[in-house]
Structure 1
Amino acid sequence: MKKRKIKRILRTVFILASIGSLYFVPWILVKAWILPLPDTVQEQLNEAIDSGFDGMIVYVDQAGKPPEFYSAGWHDRKNKIPAYPQALFKIASITKLYVAVATAKLVKEGRLSLDKTLAVYFPELAGRIQYSDKITLRMMLQHRSGIPNFVDHPEYWTNPPKNRQETVEYALDLPADFEPGEDYGYSNTNYMLIEDLMDKTLGYPHEQYIKEEILNPLGLKNTFGSLSEVDIDEVMSGYYVGVDKDFKYEDTGLMLATVEDVGKFLRALNDGSVFKEGEQEIYSSIYVYEHTGLLVGYQSIAVYHKDLDMVVIQFNNTTNFDGYEWSIAEIIYSRIVKILTKQNSS
């Protein structure tokens, strides 16, 4: 009897604490969670557009079934062009998956070493990056280097860098975030330096190596290394809340791809078909098998769901770093996965 009473008291405390916490949760997020789950992915996308997103694209690839494509909202808001699944999209940090695969291939070829240090590979930066003689390529790939993230520099957003060298400068001559290998800290600087290292090692742009060793073997003809390679009209517009500008014209140096190409790549990454013998073991020791991307005007989520043997990719073209768009996009993604899970079990 005493135990039951204690349980009732604890349950009451938990409920009261939960109710109290709601005062600190933005209601826009609560609403996104508690709305009744639609029956279809298309209905969920339509709901997302109603909640403030300009455009959204979703790709679903479940083993044994034809791929499914969904879209809603605008591809180009100004010209009233509806969103469509074949559009090119700036995939932002999903690019890191391709870079990590390429690095694993170069390591297997013996052209790079995971245990050589930054000071060895970039002696000219030895005095400008703290602990450069201890930071290994492996640590950089794993975001365990402690190198500051250039986007965290106070002037990065108010005085954006004009080129690659200026971008790197925002991470130089600063104290390390932590000693190498002692913590985890996501840093875009790591992968920018890795790309430079691949260029240096190859003697030609790493984008070409990615194309020859990853894209071509997988038949991915709608994945590109930069904005200069594509028809700008095929690129989905990107919007920032409160800013009257289309960010698709900004060349970020990151990859662009259709949702289907990203889905095919992610499937190949997870089933191992992107690798040659011995490469997957290296990759598994250095990086992850899913990713998200965030850029001004562009958000993306790419995940393989092992329990369903299903790849689900979501693109949306509305951002607001001071708002809740990213969190809402994640909620929408989770609801789409719930819909697909429900459909799969019925």
Structure 2
Amino acid sequence: MTNPKIQQPLRILFILASIGSLYFVPWVLVKAWILPLPDSVQEQLEEGIEQGFDGMIVYVDQGGKSPEFYATGWHDRNKKIPAYPQALFKIASITKLYVAVTTTKLVKEGRLSLDKTLVEYFPELEGRIENADRITLRMMVQHRSGIPNFTDHPEYWIKPPTSKQETLNYALDLPADFEPGEDYGYSNTNYLLISDLIDKTVGYPHQQYIREEILAPLGLKNTYTSLSEVDMDEVMSGYYVGIDKDFKTEDTGLMLATAEDVGIFLRALNDGSIFDEGEQEIYSSIYAYEHTGLLPGYQSIAKYHKDIDTVVIQFNNTSNFDGYDWNLAEIIYNRVVKIVRQDRED
């Protein structure tokens, strides 16, 4: 137990340290956090635009109520097209949820095994990925493989890859981040390999499997697996702070969708209706029920809040990997959820 005589000096030191730490926090984040909570989601999004985002979209699906749609800012700031809720958006790593569901279905069908190793599936990677003989599919799905993340390679952003093989090359012949199964390390390389494995297993692109086995049963007609499938005018522009460029034409190989389609998918994932018998138990053992996404020009958050039976999807089309935009997006998202929760309680 702390001596009472030194408790007061410790409190003073703690306060001074806390005040000092504010010098290292962008004031826009402090302001966004301490501002009085607005009365509506729309007002909160408008605050987000004032704080630096070019455009924002939010979808709210409360159980037992009709979905609500919100948008503000620019869909395309150069053409002065206002943001609208039905726009297509690059959902980035939220794509991993669809890949994890696909993996689950193939495991249940007996076409994949979570306990087989990487080298069993890809013999050619022996000696190219450290511990390939001990890394299992389960570890890759759970980001517990220790395989380096290709986007962390120092040349990835300087010399962007133009093919899957070039992308994978940025993760080959490197030391493992940790021993298989001994730690957690988010790595896009895991899901690049899993997607290739699905292609190899089903005999056609995994995107087709996702369309036929996940999107079609849910009636999701505004979710696309490739930029080549869409009308570019419907894609929300994406902006990176300090760069005068629209990133919407950059093909990342990841999915695009409306906020509503992501919300419908997320509810089906959480209530289990996306699964056939025996699949949900497998999925629950290997992956999460929510996700975020981040690309140059695109930030997304997709979560289900069980306590209020509500799905909240947030898109914003401004990013800065070295800045504070992600923190700002999370602050705004949490405030949106708080507004929804208060409205529900009222």
Question: TM-score per shorter chain, which class?
Answer: over 0.9
Partner of 1:185: 185
Alpha-carbon distance, 1:4 to partner: 7.6
Which aligned pairs between 1:207-286 and structure 2 lie closer than 5 A? 207-286=207-286
Partner of 1:174: 174
Matched, 1:109 2:109: yes
Matched, 1:29 2:18: no
Alpha-carbon distance, 1:278 to partner: 0.4
Partner of 2:332: 332
Partner of 1:84: 84
C-alpha distance in 2, partners of 1:175/1:40? 50
Per-residue Cα deviation, 1:79-103 (whole angstroms, up to 9, x for no partner): 1110001100000000000000000
C-alpha distance in 2, partners of 1:61/1:304? 9
Alpha-carbon distance, 1:340 to partner: 1.0
In structure 2, the gaps of 5 or more residues are none
Q: Give the residue type in structure 2 aligned to 1:286.
A: I
Alpha-carbon distance, 1:17 to partner: 3.2
Per-residue Cα deviation, 1:224-281 (whole angstroms, up to 9, x for no partner): 1100111111110111111111111111100000000000000000000000000000
Partner of 1:135: 135
Of 3-12 and 51-60, more deviation after overlay is shown by 3-12
Alpha-carbon distance, 1:13 to partner: 4.4
Q: Give the residue type in structure 1 aligned to 2:317.
A: N
Matched, 1:159 2:159: yes
The alignment covers a number of residue pairs equal to 345
* C-alpha RMSD of matched pairs (Å): 1.4
In structure 1, the gaps of 5 or more residues are none
Per-residue Cα deviation, 1:49-89 (whole angstroms, up to 9, x for no partner): 11111100000000011100000000011111100011000
C-alpha distance in 2, partners of 1:60/1:301? 12
Partner of 2:39: 39
Q: Give the residue type in structure 2 aligned to 1:91.
A: I
Alpha-carbon distance, 1:36 to partner: 1.4
Partner of 1:319: 319
SS in 2 for 1:313: strand
C-alpha distance in 2, partners of 1:251/1:175? 29
Alpha-carbon distance, 1:18 to partner: 2.2
C-alpha distance in 2, partners of 1:5/1:280? 57
C-alpha distance in 1, partners of 2:322/2:93? 19
Could you state the TM-score of these two structures normalised by the residue count of structure 2? 0.97
